[in-house]
Amino acid sequence: MANKVKIFDSTLRDGAQGGGVSFSVEDKIKIVKALDDLGISYIEAGNPGSNFKDLEFFKKVTEIDLKNSKLVAFGSTRRKGVKVSEDENVKSLLTANTEVVAIFGKSWDFHVTEIIKTSLEENLKMIKETIQFFKSEEKEVVFDAEHFFDGYKENPSYAFEVLRAAVDGGADSLVLCDTNGGTFPNEIYEVTKKVVETFPVEVGIHCHNDCGMAVANSVMAVEAGAVQIQGTFIGIGERCGNANLSTLIPNIQMKNGLYCIPNENLEKLTTSARYVAEITNIQLDSSMPYVGNSAFAHKGGMHIDGVNKASHSFEHMNPEFVGNRRRFLMSEVSGKTTILPLIQKIDKNMTKSSPKTQEIMDKLKRLEHKGYQFEGAESAFELIIRKHLGKYKPFFELKYYKVIEEEPANNRECSSSALIKVMVDGKEEMTATEGNGPVNALDKALRKALEVFYPNLKEVHLSDYKVRVLNAEDATAAKVRVLIESTDGKEVWSMVGVSTNIIEASMIALIDSIEYKLIKDLEKEEE
């Protein structure tokens, strides 16, 4: 097994094919910078022959001085019956001006004869001649053998002929693609091992997650000798997505002991994953391994007691190694063992026997009896602890707020407007904004007023909003619980508000969310 595995990120190309994903040129530039900073070997940035957006991107990205990554332009072999030098898509790859090109070609005989409607021999020529063309242009060429595992199952000799044609053309690496995502780990291992033993060039793996095994399949390919892993950074991609690199990198580097990225960059994994999710405009799955908000969350009393005594008793690794953190989920059945670590974050001198500890326990039970729930909203409970221990000073005072609902005219999206007045250090600020609904309008107005005093709030926005009716039998007089999740692109925190008035419940959570952000930023400044 090699000592190093090259990470080939396809977030901007294969990831962009996922449902609901659409990157602007500026989005792609930001992600390139983040991946380069992390130490990714290859960044597959798009197909300059497919759309004007990618053409514009490749013009702008050349202005970036990358420290660690090689940019890759992606495209197909020449078309059947067309000379390589005359194929427009092939020529467009040269306009990207990248050091590396990734060329995909058919390795399943069914696709050759029935999908692109050509002969098996012509397909081999298309592959070999296209790679030769780019090698003559002094490019590093990655050959993606599309549908390789399906092709191997149907016609193993032809699948190997395809790889031979790529090697004869001068390919620097052969990437075996499980394009349909239907291959099992044992099959991946066996076939990859045969390829590694047969060909004298680097072998890579490209897996899709249609059977939920893209990460496992990629690991097995590495076990078989693959030295390049293709995937997307948070697993996005067509259908069920691609192999998740934010899971694979720590798996390969921390569990298998192989180099993927600089060791000092492993602690950037969580913030990088959340940053990419933010740009992609998707909510990162809280249960995602290593980087999810609940990846190291504990609720069971026995688990929490075990973690406090010896963290490895219920954790496979220290969350700080990947930039994440341990969380103990709060509830009315939580014991002092569960709550004490959170209290001690605020006051290290507190113990189980401290009177304040019992008072906080009692307060938690009273609040949950009223309808509050702190599981998944530990940040809200942290504010309660600060207030009870006298470790809290408000950053602003809400003097007044008003919401006006209106029927949108002329297909306008905004259906509400909000007016807010706040006071900070004796200075008042009043502002009004429109929003898509009353909570959105209030959120925008509150942050707009406070940004005058706290510019760092510009990076904060709501990432999730949930409402639950607590006593539905009371109909319109029912009490509601609002849970608001906020993010600044690096951290994620949740706040909860309860009231018979949904606007008031939302404002409680909104205010606490902003206060929490300001507290954390102040603590960082004081460190």
Encode pLDDT of 388-424 as tens digits. 888 888 899 999 999 988 766 555 666 789 999 999 9
Closest CA relative to residue 338, chosen from 373, 302, 368:
302
pLDDT in tens, 174-188: 999 999 999 999 999
Confidence at 266, pLDDT banded by 50, 70, 90: very high
pLDDT higher than threshold 60 for residue 476: no
Confidence at 353, pLDDT banded by 50, 70, 90: confident
pLDDT higher than threshold 70 for residue 327: yes
pLDDT higher than threshold 80 for residue 376: no
Predicted local distance difference test score (pLDDT) of residue 285? 87
Mean pLDDT, to the nearest integer, of 21-30?
Answer: 90
Asked whether 73 and 47 are in contact (CB, 8 A), the reply is yes
Please tell me the least confidently modeled range out of 16-30, 230-244, 366-380: 366-380
Predicted local distance difference test score (pLDDT) of residue 210? 96
Residues of the chain with CATH 3.20.20.70: 6-261
For residue 328, which amino acid is it? Answer: F
Closest CA relative to residue 412, chosen from 443, 441, 455, 446:
441
Please tell me the least confidently modeled range out of 82-86, 104-108, 299-303, 467-471: 299-303
Q: What is the rounded distance in angstroms from the CA atom of residue 82 to the CA atom of residue 44?
A: 26
Predicted local distance difference test score (pLDDT) of residue 352? 82
Q: What is the rounded distance in angstroms from the CA atom of residue 80 to the CA atom of residue 84?
A: 10
Asked whether 53 and 21 are in contact (CB, 8 A), the reply is no
Higher pLDDT, 30 or 413: 30
Closest CA relative to residue 175, chosen from 202, 138, 212:
202
Instruction: Please tell me the pTM assigned to this model.
Output: 0.73
Residues of the chain with CATH 3.30.160.270: 397-526
Asked whether 43 and 29 are in contact (CB, 8 A), the reply is no
Per residue in 133-165, is it b (16+ CB within 10 Å) or e — as a string? bbbeeebbbbbbbbbbbbbbeebeebbbbbbbb
pLDDT in tens, 46-60: 888 667 778 888 888
Q: What is the rounded distance in angstroms from the CA atom of residue 224 to the CA atom of residue 420?
A: 62
Does the domain at 6-261 match CATH 3.20.20.70? Answer given as yes
Task: Provide, rounded to the nearest whole percent, the portion of the chain with pLDDT above 70.
Answer: 92
Q: What is the rounded distance in angstroms from the CA atom of residue 277 to the CA atom of residue 31?
A: 10
pLDDT higher than threshold 60 for residue 62: yes
Predicted local distance difference test score (pLDDT) of residue 162? 98
Pick the CATH number of 397-526 from 4.10.780.10, 3.20.20.70, 3.30.160.270, 3.30.465.10: 3.30.160.270
Mean pLDDT, to the nearest integer, of 10-33?
Answer: 91
Which one-letter DSSP state was computed for residue 4?
B
| Close Cβ partners of 193 (under 8 Å, ≥ 6 residues apart) | 224, 225
pLDDT higher than threshold 60 for residue 331: no
Please tell me the least confidently modeled range out of 24-28, 119-123, 216-220, 246-250: 24-28
Predicted local distance difference test score (pLDDT) of residue 102? 97
Higher pLDDT, 438 or 185: 185
Mean pLDDT, to the nearest integer, of 83-88?
Answer: 92
Confidence at 131, pLDDT banded by 50, 70, 90: very high
Predicted local distance difference test score (pLDDT) of residue 283? 79
pLDDT in tens, 99-129: 999 999 999 999 999 999 999 999 999 999 9
Mean pLDDT, to the nearest integer, of 276-302?
Answer: 83
Predicted local distance difference test score (pLDDT) of residue 300? 62
Asked whether 245 and 218 are in contact (CB, 8 A), the reply is no
Mean pLDDT computed over every residue of the chain: 89
Mean pLDDT, to the nearest integer, of 281-307?
Answer: 80
Phi, psi (degrees; rounded to nearest 5) at 521: -65, -40
Based on the number of CB atoms within 10 Å of its own CB, is 291 exposed (0-12), middle (13-18) or buried (19 or more)?
Answer: buried
- E-strand ranges in 317-476 read 327-328, 397-405, 416-424, 427-435, 461-469
Closest CA relative to residue 395, chosen from 526, 520, 524:
520
Higher pLDDT, 471 or 108: 108
Q: Given the DSSP bridges, would you call strands 461-469 and 427-435 parallel, antiparallel or unpaired?
A: unpaired
Mean pLDDT, to the nearest integer, of 496-517?
Answer: 91
Predicted local distance difference test score (pLDDT) of residue 326? 79
What strand order describes the sheet that includes 492-499?
A: 461-469, 480-487, 492-499
Q: What is the rounded distance in angstroms from the CA atom of residue 487 to the CA atom of residue 493?
A: 7
Predicted local distance difference test score (pLDDT) of residue 479? 83
Highest mean pLDDT: which range of 72-86, 295-309, 359-373:
72-86
Predicted local distance difference test score (pLDDT) of residue 315? 81
